[in-house]
Amino acid sequence: MTINMEGARMRLENLDIWRRSVDLSVEIYQHFAGHRDFGFRDQITRSSLSLPSNIAEGFERASDKEKALFLNYAKGSAGELKTQLIVGSRIGYIPDAMSKRWGDEVEQLSKMLFAIMRKLK
């Protein structure tokens, strides 16, 4: 995976990690659109939205230190989302196959974030 966040100005929309995290957030929002447990719905959609939002904010920062900080926030949101997927599956809000697929994607995004953060340090 090559991420060049310096040098030639890259468009956020071209970052695979950002696009994938947006796609995941959209799927989660769509799944929970009519859900009646507002507390759970709001928590899981917020953490799913926080993931691409913090990637975007980090991408827009000038220094590598600031970029890494916001990517670290995104990594924290990934951990929060993973937990909510497990809980959602256990209480029957998310079908097991969907929870597994989303959880696998969150794990991949978290690994990608870690690799980018390591390159920035």
Domain positions in the chain: 13-120
DSSP secondary structure letter of residue 46: H
- DSSP state letter for 5: -
The band of 23, judged by pLDDT with boundaries at 50, 70 and 90, is: very high
For the domain made up of 13-120, give the CATH fold. de novo design (two linked rop proteins) (1.20.1440)
Quickly list DSSP for 48-114. Answer: HHHHHHHHHHHHH-SSHHHHHHHHHHHHHHHHHHHHHHHHHHHTTSS-HHHHHHHHHHHHHHHHHHH
Structure confidence by residue, pLDDT tens digits, 28-67: 999 999 999 999 999 999 999 999 999 999 999 999 999 9
**Confidence category of residue 10, pLDDT binned at 50, 70, 90:** low
Instruction: Collect all residues with Cβ–Cβ distance below 8 Å to 36 and sequence separation of at least 6.
Output: none
Q: How confident is the model at residue 5 (pLDDT cuts 50, 70, 90)?
A: very low
- Global pTM value: 0.89
